[in-house]
Structure 1
Amino acid sequence: MNPDRLDRPAQIDIDKPDASTERGPRGIQSIEVGGQLLVALAHQGRPLALKDLAREAGMAPAKAHPYLVSFIKLGLVEQEGGSGRYGLGPLALQLGLISLQQYDPVRLATPRIEELALLCGHTVAIAVWGNRGPTIVRVAEAPSPVHVSMRHGTVMSLSGTASGRLFAAHLPASQVLAAVADAQEAAQMQQRDFQDQLTETRRSGLASSRDGVVSGVSALAAPVFDDQQRMVLSLTAIGPSGSFELSTSGAVAQALQQVAQDLSRQLGWRAPA
C-alpha cells in the first residue's frame, strides 16, 4: 500500500454534480451559481453596487466578486468607473437584441392559445392589427366551439368586440380612426361612454364584450406588448354568454392575463415601475 495515498486529501471537482442527487441533464454548477448574478441584474434592470447585487443573487459579496471579474472579461457585465456599480455589458445587450429578433409574436402565442382553449373551455383567438383593423390570424377551438364566424382573416369591429376595444385602448387614436370605414362607428367611438370604456380597459388590462356583434356571445381580451411597450396582438377568449365569466377577477381573465404577461416578457416588455 502506498502511504502517500493515505495522506493525500480527496480531490473534489466542484463543477461536477453529485451522481446521487443528479436530476436531468448534467450541468456545470459554478456556471449556474454565477448565472444568478446575471438573473439579478436582468430583474433589477439597473446597475447595482456589489453588496446589493450579491444580496439579490443570494450570495456573499466575496463569493460574487470573482464571478463578476470573469463576466466583465466576457462582456456580459460592465462596471461603472465612478460609482463602481455593476450592470449588464455589451455582450449581454447584443444577446438580448438577437433574441428579440428571433421572436415572432404570433409564432410564440400560437401554442399558448391551444393550452388556453383547453384550460378555459372556450375558443381562444389571436388578433393582430391589420390595414382594416384588428384581424384574426389564429384560432384554437374549444371542446365545444361557439358557432360564430372566427375564421382566419376576420376583421373585428373596433367598437363592438373585445379585441377591437383593446386595440382602440392601446393604439394611437389617429391610427385607430384611420381604420374605421363606417362613419356611424367612428362617431360612436368619439362618444364619452366609449372613451370611458377605453380608460377602464387600460386600467384593468382587459377588454370585454357581452352580446356585442353576435347575440349570445361574450368575450374577454388581453394585450401582449413588445420591448417598446407597443401592443402587438390580443389574446381573446370567446364563449356563450350564459356560461362565460366576464369578471376581471375570474378564472378566464386570470388565465388570459397570465399568458399575455408571459408572452410580453418573452418579447422584452417590462412592467412599469
Structure 2
Amino acid sequence: MDNGQRGIQSVEVGGQLLVALVESGKPMMLREVAALAEMAPAKAHPYLVSFMRLGLVEQDRASGRYELGPLALQMGLACMRRLSPVRIGTDAIVELAPEIGQTVALALWGNHGPTIIRIEEASAAVHVNMRAGSVMSLLGTATGRVFAAFLPAKLIETFLEAGQREATVGNEAARHMSREQIEAALVEVRQKGMARAVGRPIPGVNAFSVPVFDQSGSVALAITAIGPEGTFDADWESPIATKLLECAAKVSERLGSPSNRSHQAA
C-alpha cells in the first residue's frame, strides 16, 4: 500500500521475483520466474544473483532452477513466531463491527468446544445469551458448525459423542439432528465457506460465521456476525456475508494460510 513514503524502485522491482517464487511454491527456471514477475530474463538474472548472495534465493546446480533460500525461510519463521491469531482477529472484528453495523464475535476451539473469546458490539446491540467464555453448540450454532465442518472428522466425532449433552449455547436445537441432517449441514458450510443461522437457536436473531485458517491450513478461529432479523440480511450474497468473508480472508492471509486451496475436514 502506498502511504506516501519514498521508496527504492529497484528493490520493489526485484521484490516481484520473490513474490513469484512464493506464489509458485516450486523451483523454477530463470525464464519461468521472469515471466511470472513480468520482466525479461536478462533483467531478472542480476536481481536473482544478488538475492542468492543474501540467502533469499538459492539455485540448484544440477537443474539450474531457482527457489527461496535459507534467509527467506528464517524470515518466514520469525514472522510466524510473532503472529498472534487472537490479536490479529480481535483487531479485525473491531474494524468490522461498525462497518457492517452488527455485533461481531471471535471464537476459538477450547477444551469444551467452540468458545467465544471476544465480542465487539454494534451501535444497536443484539440481546443474546452470549459473552466471552460462552461455549457454543457444535451443531446448533453457526459458530459451532464452522469448527465442525473444518476440524478433523475424528476430533469432531469424539467430541459429539462426549459433549453434545452439555449445557452449551444452542445445544438444544442440535440434539434431535439426524446423521443425514448433520452431514448436509456440514457440506453446506464447506461449499459456501461459511455457516448461517436464521432465527435459530434464538428466534428473531440471524448469524453468519466464517473460518479463519492458519499457516498449516487448519481452522484457527471463527468470526461470527450476529444481529436482529430486521436489520440482518441473511442472504448468502448479502453485504454482511461478503464483508465477513473478506475479513476472514484477510486474517487468514496475515496468518500465512495457503492461498488458492480448498479447506476440507480431514
SS at match of 2:125: coil
CA distance in 2 between counterparts of 1:81 and 1:188 reads: 63
Q: Which residue of 1 aligns with 2:65?
A: 85
Q: In structure 1, give the amino acid aligned to 2:119.
A: V
Q: Structure 1 residue 180 and structure 2 residue 163: aligned?
A: yes
Shift in CA distance, 39/133, structure 1 to aligned 2, threshold 3 Å: same
The CA deviation string for residues 212-269 of structure 1, in whole angstroms up to 9 with x for no partner, is: 2211111000000111111000000001123322222221111111111111111111
SS at match of 1:245: coil
CA distance in 2 between counterparts of 1:98 and 1:171 reads: 26
Q: Which residue of 1 aligns with 2:184?
A: 196
Q: Structure 1 residue 272 and structure 2 residue 255: aligned?
A: no
TM-align CA RMSD: 2.0
CA distance in 2 between counterparts of 1:197 and 1:145 reads: 28
Deviation at 1:61? Answer: 0.9
Deviation at 1:181? Answer: 4.2
Q: Which residue of 2 aligns with 1:11?
A: none
Q: Structure 1 residue 261 and structure 2 residue 261: aligned?
A: no
CA distance in 1 between counterparts of 2:63 and 2:177 reads: 51
Q: Which residue of 2 aligns with 1:220?
A: 208
Q: Structure 1 residue 116 and structure 2 residue 96: aligned?
A: yes
CA distance in 2 between counterparts of 1:253 and 1:49 reads: 41
User: Which one of 109, 129, 134 corresponds to residue 149 of structure 1?
Assistant: 129
8 Å Cα contact 2:103-2:125 kept in structure 1? yes
8 Å Cα contact 2:215-2:255 kept in structure 1? yes
Q: In structure 1, give the amino acid aligned to 2:235.
A: S
CA distance in 1 between counterparts of 2:90 and 2:11 reads: 33
8 Å Cα contact 1:168-1:198 kept in structure 2? yes
CA distance in 2 between counterparts of 1:188 and 1:41 reads: 50
Deviation at 1:124? Answer: 0.5
CA distance in 2 between counterparts of 1:129 and 1:195 reads: 20
User: Which one of 26, 30, 50 corresponds to residue 6 of structure 2?
Assistant: 26
CA distance in 1 between counterparts of 2:180 and 2:190 reads: 16
Structure 1 unaligned segments of length 5 or more: list them. 1-21
Moved more, 84-93 or 188-197: 188-197
SS at match of 2:107: strand
User: Which one of 129, 139, 143 corresponds to residue 119 of structure 2?
Assistant: 139
Shift in CA distance, 129/207, structure 1 to aligned 2, threshold 3 Å: same
CA distance in 2 between counterparts of 1:48 and 1:244 reads: 48
Q: Structure 1 residue 158 and structure 2 residue 158: aligned?
A: no
Task: Name the larger-Rg structure.
Answer: 1
Q: Which residue of 1 aligns with 2:239?
A: 251
User: Of the two structures, which has the highest relative contact order with CA contacts closer than 8 Å and spacing of 6 or more?
Assistant: 2
8 Å Cα contact 1:189-1:195 kept in structure 2? no
The CA deviation string for residues 141-170 of structure 1, in whole angstroms up to 9 with x for no partner, is: 111110112311011111211001111111
Q: Which residue of 1 aligns with 2:228?
A: 240
8 Å Cα contact 2:96-2:104 kept in structure 1? yes
SS at match of 2:23: helix
Identity score, percent: 50
Q: In structure 2, give the amino acid aligned to 1:98.
A: A
TM-score (norm. length: structure 2): 0.88
8 Å Cα contact 2:198-2:207 kept in structure 1? yes
8 Å Cα contact 2:146-2:222 kept in structure 1? yes
8 Å Cα contact 1:188-1:194 kept in structure 2? no
Q: Which residue of 2 aligns with 1:72?
A: 52
Deviation at 1:116? Answer: 1.2
Structure 2 unaligned segments of length 5 or more: list them. none
